[in-house]
Structure 1
Amino acid sequence: MTQLPASHALVLDGLTPIPATHVAAIVTSLEMHAPPSQAAEPLPLARIDADLPRYRALYARVGAPWLWFGRARLDDAALGAILGHPDVEAFALAEGGEDVALLELDWRVPGEAEIAYFGLVPEAIGRGTGRRLMAEAQARAWQRPIGRLWVHTCTFDHPGAVAFYERSGFRSFARAIEVLPDPRLTGILPRSAAPHIPLLGDRDPLTPR
């Protein structure tokens, strides 16, 4: 974990300076404590936890526009250890022979499930695919004996993400600030990723040169 200097300490009533080498987002966590009453129409999802190249390719297509990099920074051993866990399942949704959506479910905490990753490739957004995939995600998650299903999103994600999750039956319960090194500067993601998030550079303008 990167330790920021005292000059960048969190201000709870005002602006907190963030180094140009870092990015900051507001993370919203949402939860539900009972399965939806309406049954989902089954989707033909394919398990891809054992296929790391396929997982990585889909993760990049879905996530790079929104600055996803948590899985991209892991080597194959670390990623394989997560996806190979018996309580983690990763799926791809294919249309026309091409993967268009990613779903990853995590039951590693007893009594609950997390939608760890959920997203569509850019060209699949706005066609109702997300709604159908969420219904399938909820149905699969509640097949196990859980009392809570939760998910998180942040201000880097699609601006309609929180509203989408709320329409799907989730309710917000927590908020946090996440500050991380900009993955476009560390080489994890291309510099062209997530153009809606300004790329400030590799020097901190608040630090004397």
Structure 2
Amino acid sequence: MFGCAFITNKTTETFEWVLETFKKSMAGAKPKTIFTDQDQAMSNVIAKVLPNSRHRLCLWHLQKKFVSRFGQLKSNEDFKNMFDKCLYGYDDEKEFDDCWNDMIQKYGLEEKEWFDRLYELRHKWCPVFSKDILCAGILSSQRSEITNRAISLKANKKNSLYEFFHIFEATLQRWRSNEKADNFKRKTKKPKTKCKLLKQAAEITL
């Protein structure tokens, strides 16, 4: 974790302060890619403060909303498979467009504004449109969600800011300690695997 911000609201002004402060703390360095949910205030601020960063939408958040928009198609496995192919199944933009158009026509979604809006945002969520930038296979903001969950297990609304800070600091210290232990094992021990290729690679690197 490089940094975090404790905020009490999700306004444009708050997000702008967060990103401007982040830039200062990073000596002006800017991220190549940013993953967020569909919060409009955050989207507006990213375009203003970090115009050269690639803003992508978290597929995990999008998929949570997908189900509520399917209506009667929720139980249609063919539709869900076709939709999943649009999300992950193609390496070519034309193939994606062909599949999307076939899906819209086959299931009569031409008048569905939500699907139209989703297609307009395809460059922010579909991996096929982001092959020009390295994301290391990351498609969501689940790392931050995991952080939120890990902290919320020990913190609650009754904690003071002072108590919350110590809970947060202890969580980070535990993660960093585990990371150091994992790095030490990786450098000193061979992986437990039946794969001859991985065994040979381990012998070369140790």
TM-score scaled to structure 1, two decimals?
Answer: 0.25
- Greater strand proportion: 1
- Greater helix proportion: 2
TM-score scaled to structure 2, two decimals?
Answer: 0.25
